[in-house]
A and B are shown apart, each in its own frame.
Chain A
C-alpha cells in the first residue's frame, strides 16, 4: 500500500509531463500515419529472453505503430549508462543499482521501465553439496566467482560472514563451475543455471533477492533531459515495450526465433527454458495490477538507502529522481 501511495504521489508530481503524453496519445491513434522518430536502444548483454519483450515489440511492429523506428545496439560490456548520458543512444538497459550509482557520480539518467520486478541474480551451487540457503553456503565455504564490484556482493559481505569464501572474478564462463564441485558462482537465473544443466551439472540457485537486496533489473534508462523534453517519445517506447512483453509472456516463440538468429550461441530449447524461468520475476502481483515494467517509489527508496548504507554511493541519493512513472 505504501508503495502504491508513493507512486501515485510521484505521478501527481509529474503531472505536467504525463498530461502532455496522454493528450498526444489520444489525438494520435496508434495506427494513424505520423512522422517516424528514430531512436536507438543499447543492450548490456546478448539478445536473450531478458530482452524478449523488446524484440517482440520490434517484430510485431509495436514501435512502428507508435511512430518509432527503433535501432537495437550495444551488447556485452557496452558502457550503457555512459552511452545514454553522452546521447549516443536514446535508451539503454541497466540495473536499478547502476542508475542510483550513476546519479551519485553526477550522471543524469532516469529509469522509465523495469523488466524484472524480482531481481534475477543469484548464486549457483552444485545441488550435490546439499546446501539449503546462502547462509549454509557461506558456512560451508569454497570458491565464489563474482564480478568484482557488484553491489550485491557488498550487501552479502555486510549481511553474512564471507571469511570462509575465496572470492574470485567471474569470467562469464561456467567451465570453472562445471570443473569444481565446491565452486559457487553468480548467475542470472535465466542463463547460467540452464546452461549448466544442459552441460550435465545439477545446479541449485539461491536468489539474492531473498536476502533483502532486490533492485529492479533490465531497467530501461533515458537521460533526464530526454525525459523532460520528450516525454511523448518515452511514453511511446514504454507503451510499445509493455505490449511487446504482454505478447512475449503469452507466446515467446516468434521473438525467440528472431533473437536466435542474432545469438547463435543459444539454442532454441535454452531460449524456451529461459523465457519460462523468468515469467514469475516479470509478471508478479504488482505488475498485474500496475502494468508490466511499472515501478514503485518504495522500492527505489529501499535501494537508495541500502546503497548508502553499503557506502557504494557517497551521499544520500534522492530516490524520487531515479525514476519516472510513465502512464
Chain B
C-alpha cells in the first residue's frame, strides 16, 4: 500500500493537476482549438478516432519492437567488438557516433528508396536513431570493469569467453540498461519519422490530422506515441529490476 502511494501517487497527482490547469487556462483564454486544443477535446478525439488510432498504434509498436530489438542485438555486438582492443575502438568508435548525429529527418526520404515503402523503411529509421545509445553505454560499461577483477580472472587463466560472459557483461549490465532506456524513447521517435515517409502507423495519422487541421487528433496521436514510449521505458525498468536485483545494491532499494 505504501509502495503504491510512493510510486503511483506523485506522477498521478502531477498529471491531474497539469491537465486541470491546462483545461481551465485554455478555456479561459479562448484559444482557438486549431492552435491548442483543451485536454478534454483531445480525449474526445482519441475516443472518436479510436478505430483509426489503435490499429495505427499497433503498427507503430511493431516497427518499434523490431527496430529496438535490432538496435539491442547489433549495438551489443558492436560494443563487445569495440571493447576487444584499444586499436579497434579507436579505429571504429568515431564512426559509430555517426549514427547519433545523422539527421534522421534528412535521410528519411532516402530510406524509402533503399528499403522500399512500408515497414522496412520505418524499422530502419527506428534502428538508426536508437542504436548509438546502446553502443555508447554498453561500451562504457564494458570498459569500466574493475582492473583488480580483470587481473583476478587473468590470474586464474580464464578464457576470453569466460571473462566476457562471467565478468565484463554482468559488470556492464547496469550501463547497458541505461542505454536501453534512452534507446526505447528514441526508437519511437525514429519510427514515427520513418512513417512520415514510409507510410503506416501513428506517423501517417499525425500527417493526416495536420493536413485536415484536426489539432485535437494530432495531440491524441502524439499521446498514443508517448504511451508507447512510456510502456517501453517501464518494460526496460521491469527487466532491469529482475536482471539486477541479485547483484546491484541500488536495485534492492526500490
Residues of A participating in the B interface, judged by any CB pair closer than 8 Å: 81-82, 85-86, 98, 101-102, 105-107, 143, 147-151, 166-169, 171-173, 175-176, 179, 312
Contacts and interface: CB of A to CB of B under 8 A. Distances in A.
A176 B207 contact: no
- The A interface is mostly helix, strand or loop, or mixed, namely mixed
A82 B109 contact: no
Contacts of B155: none
Nearest to B208: A149
Contacts of B195: 169
B34 A82 contact: yes
A179 B35 CA distance: 39
Interface string B180-220: 00000000000000011111000010011111111100000
A105 B214 contact: yes
Closest 7 A/B residue pairs (Cβ): A149-B211, A149-B208, A168-B117, A148-B207, A171-B109, A148-B208, A171-B197
Given A101-B213, A105-B34, A168-B112, 9 more contacts: A81-B213, A86-B32, A101-B212, A102-B213, A148-B199, A166-B117, A169-B196, A169-B197, A169-B204
6 contacts: A148-B208, A166-B117, A167-B199, A169-B204, A171-B108, A171-B196
Given A149-B208, A169-B196, A169-B198, A175 B117 contact: no
A223 B232 CA distance: 44
Contacts of A176: 112-113, 117
Contacts of A175: 109, 113
Contacts of B215: 105
B174 interface: no
Contacts of B108: 171
Contact of B109 (A85, A106, A148, A173): A173
Contacts of B113: 175-176, 179
A151 B196 CA distance: 18
B208 A85 contact: no
Contacts of B199: 148, 167-169
B34 to A, nearest CB: 5
A98 B214 CA distance: 11
A171 B195 CA distance: 11
Which residue, A82, A143, A148, A172, has most C-beta atoms of chain B within 10 A? Answer: A148
B47 to A, nearest CB: 15
Nearest to B199: A168
B64 to A, nearest CB: 18
Contacts of A173: 109
Contacts of A149: 207-212
Interface string B21-40: 00000000000111100000
A102 B208 CA distance: 14
Interface in B109-147: 109, 112-113, 117-118
Nearest to A98: B213
Contacts of A85: 32, 34-35
A280 B83 CA distance: 67
Contacts of A168: 112, 117-118, 198-199
Given A101-B212, A175-B109, A82 B198 contact: no
A302 to B, nearest CB: 19
B211 A150 contact: yes
A320 to B, nearest CB: 20
Contact of B204 (A82, A148, A166): A148
Nearest to A109: B34
